[in-house]
Structure 1
Amino acid sequence: MAVTTLVVGYHHALTTASEQDFRPHSGHLRQVLAEHDITLSEAARADFDRRLVTWQRLAHASAMADLITMVLSRHGIDQPLSSSELAVQMCERAGDAPVTAEAARTLTRLLEQGYGVLVATTTCRPQEQRAKALADAGLGDVPLVTSSQLGVAAPHPEFYEHVLRRCAAAPGRVLWVGSDPIEDVAGPRAHGMHAAAVLPTTAAGRRERAARAGAHTVLTSLQELPDVLVPLARP
């Protein structure tokens, strides 16, 4: 593919860790509240976790705080901190999935070859936390777009339009690399970009859906990406 700019997702592309292992759940909320001598009942914990996945998909800055506010109000729990501060502390306790050394080396190699690289991720985590994960992998200078800061998440058109503005490249010169057949393949293709899916061979169903959604190629890891790119012309 003859492209000049790469937009790379986070999960499966940059990290192999399970998102479930780093999800901020009610156990983290209970720990934060316990520091202020506030008990989170089992009923409230169950209520929070039952709604968590759906609310996380909203993936904007106040999604987690809004869920905390709703659950605590439903269960009559008063606490001294703002829900937004509770959300930040929960995410800090949960941590973030680390970028693999192999993925970091691949992006560094592509940057050295002259490609523009931007990381775009749908997440309700604070932008600062995901930026730290990139910095810890030596990718602190790579531009980052998060839905939590932007206020809209993929597959909303505004998400792709914002990323394209940040890329400052024609859509036909941009390759979107990610793991979700809708958010990382169908969405970018609808906006004129190329798309490559990164999914393990064990995810046969998702690989097939990504191909049907219009992926130009389906890779098993980000390390394969340089082999499918047309080398950039050197001045």
Structure 2
Amino acid sequence: MARIRALAVDFGGTLAHSTPRVEGRTVARVLSGSLGLRLPEEFALSFDIAHRHAWQDDRASGAHTLFSRVLTMAAHGCGVHLPDPDRASEVVFSSLPDGQVDAEAAGAVQSLSAAGLRCVLACDSQRPEAVRRRTLEEAGIGACFHAVVLSSELGWRKPHPRFYATVIAAAGREPEEIVFVGDTPAKDVQGPRAHRMEAVLVAPPEKVAALDPGVGVIRRFAELPAYLEQRYGL
């Protein structure tokens, strides 16, 4: 068994509580208030439709439609010109709360980083890197992460092969030396293992009975240091 030298960590549902859902009414309120845009009432519904269509297309292709593109489609759908979609996207996510990192999970990250593991945040997210890095900094673990791999920046979602290839490159280690930790079997266990990484699922054991017996399962991220010590002698 290879020595474990790096950790790839999912965000929502793993390291943090689930991120708040972005809805058309909220987006319209933020853009109207922060940018002073005059948006028709139809914008909120147009956004929700564009957002849903983008999500469906991305799920089928494995790509990630940029949030600025979703805003552009929403504006076009109700006859509005959005002068700077990238700026609008930044304003939206700077105004909305991100997922809250669990305090015990943050402590586990600090412990594992101090033990010498190279940590990579690896998650599907609509939020830009600057926003997610700010969330990590506020939780006291920004310096623990060697790299951040987000679908919003990469343009590909888990379980697309390009996502995992980018994670491996960001970790700077052999795949067998990386443990991928997340809460979704297809994305955080099957995908990483197909790319020769180790995997640990964060979930109640009774919900993962169909998994390969060799897959590690922990109930909370805070249990990870003890699990890695027991299994890999970290």
SS in 2 for 1:103: helix
Quick check: 1:15–1:98 contact (8 Å CA) kept in 2?
Answer: yes
Residues 80-229 of structure 1: pairs in structure 2 closer than 5 A: 81-141=83-143, 142=145, 143-200=147-204, 205=207, 207-208=208-209, 211=211, 216-229=215-228
TM-score (norm 2): 0.84
Quick check: 1:106–1:222 contact (8 Å CA) kept in 2?
Answer: yes
SS in 2 for 1:34: helix
SS in 2 for 1:92: helix
1:78 maps to: 81
SS in 2 for 1:144: strand
SS in 1 for 2:179: strand
Structure 1 unaligned segments of length 5 or more: list them: none
Quick check: 1:26–1:45 contact (8 Å CA) kept in 2?
Answer: yes
Which amino acid in structure 1 is aligned with residue 71 of structure 2? I
Deviation track 1:82-118 (CA, whole Å, cap 9, x = no partner) reads 1222122111222211211111100111112222221
Structure 2 unaligned segments of length 5 or more: list them: none
Does 1:66 find its partner at 2:69? yes
- The aligned length equals 222
Quick check: 1:61–1:147 contact (8 Å CA) kept in 2?
Answer: yes
Cα distance 1:222–1:46, how it changes in 2: closer, same or farther (>3 A)? same
1:38 maps to: 38
Alignment equivalent of 1:24, drawn from 15, 22, 25: 22
RMSD: 2.4
Cα distance 1:189–1:37, how it changes in 2: closer, same or farther (>3 A)? closer
